[in-house]
Amino acid sequence: MKKAFLALAIPALLIACNSVGENEFVLKGTVSGVDGKKIILKRQDDSIGSVNVDTVKIENGKFEFKGTATEPEMYGLEIEGLQTISPFIAEEGTIDVAINKDSIFKNKVSGTFNNDKFTEYGELSSKLTLELGEQWKKIQPQYLAAQQKNDTATVNKIRKDMDGRQKVITEKIMKWTKDNPKAYISIFLIGNGFRTYEPNIPEIETMYNNLDPELKKTKAGKKLGEQIKKAKVVEAGKRAPEFSAATPDGKQVSLKDARGKVTLIDFWASWCGPCRKANPEVVALYNEFHAKGLNIVGVSLDKSADKWKEAIAKDGLAWTQVSNLQEWKDPIAQRYGVEAIPSSFVVNQYGVVVGKDLHGAELRKKVEEWLAKPDVPK
């Protein structure tokens, strides 16, 4: 009887020793080819990017971290000397991570509900992206040949075809999100809707409302909810919120100063690569339509006044520029619900938002449409 009791007790003891406490996680990882290097555990922080939480050395292709997580949170792993961060979701339980140092797309995380779902989504996304890439390889020679011949019809046809294929991918990802309302990653997939040229706020809100109530209580869930509220304030058909800020020479400028004119509010920053790349398009728009009545107000999310002024001069931004020099804490950006830059709003003569995050032909068409209408008194 005593032997039987011991036989039962030993496995129970082993289970107890390997169990994870409430709100605790153990991350066990494997990676080859980097023995002796340090690996850093990072927590995502919206205000400053990321915070280093812990560091250990990789030995025999293995590493381990322990931490606490009262709710699911996005974390990452960075190997010393490599520029990539391998994401995972910190939550209660034992998390297994297999890192491929040459490609984060081949990483695999598992062991807890949200990390299993994270990998499930990652595999779907990789599959769809690979398929799109293969389709582009087949059609690219025809596209390049058409460009060289100035065959606009063929170029536009191929672009339309690729846009259609991209739309199908987006629809499949959105379906996965709708089918997984309890998955933490779904919060971020819904939030990606704000990064499109013209966010569909009603659709984003519908998908948010479909999320599990517990997810909405997380920090990321609350942030997305607030983002939707802000976006509804400045969506098409709503009045543009008033604001005032200082120009590079210290003069206070208000949106009221542009009342009665078609105005493009352009959010950017000197440190934002995509913004700087898009600036020539805005310069061309200004040069063509300013004499016809178009106003542009640039709102910079810079912190350094010198770098801001330098970028204005270098990029030839001749229109009104303002900034509070507070980066992402800028009150204007917060009031307009700006979460990514470049971002822009077209405001008509009546102070109503008529377009958001438009580019290229769409932006030009919207500006021409409203410039064709009569000005209104200030």
The domains of the chain are located at 21-110, 115-233, 244-371
Return the CATH fold of 21-110: Immunoglobulin-like (2.60.40)
Question: Which of 16-20, 67-71, 120-124, 167-171 is the least confident region?
Answer: 16-20
Radius of gyration in angstroms for the set of CA atoms belonging to the chain, rounded to a whole number: 25
In this predicted structure, the answer to whether residue 41 has a pLDDT above a threshold of 80 is yes
Q: Which CATH class is domain 244-371?
A: alpha beta
Report residue 250 as tokens. Answer: 């210290």
* Per-residue pLDDT tens over the stretch 160-183: 999 899 989 999 999 999 999 999
Burial of 224 (0-12, 13-18, 19+ CB in 10 A): buried
In this predicted structure, the answer to whether residue 16 has a pLDDT above a threshold of 80 is no
| Pairwise CA distance, residues 364 & 60, whole Å | 58
In this predicted structure, the answer to whether residue 10 has a pLDDT above a threshold of 80 is no
| Buried/exposed code over 57-87 (b: 16+ C-beta within 10 A; e: otherwise) | ebeeeebebebebebbbbbbbbbeeeeeebb
If you average pLDDT over residues 260-282, what whole number do you get? 95
Q: What is the mean pLDDT of the chain?
A: 89
Q: What single-letter amino acid sits at 197?
A: Y
If you average pLDDT over residues 22-48, what whole number do you get? 90
What is the per-residue pLDDT for 45? 78
If you average pLDDT over residues 235-248, what whole number do you get? 90
**344 close to 265: Cβ distance less than 8 angstroms:** yes
Residue % of the chain over a pLDDT of 90: 72
In this predicted structure, the answer to whether residue 368 has a pLDDT above a threshold of 50 is yes
**38 close to 58: Cβ distance less than 8 angstroms:** yes
Is the CA virtual torsion 323, 327, 328, 330 positive or negative?
Answer: negative
In this predicted structure, the answer to whether residue 47 has a pLDDT above a threshold of 70 is no
Considering only CA atoms, which of 240, 203, 260 is closest in space to residue 337? 240
Instruction: For residue 283, give the H/E element and its range.
Output: helix 273-289
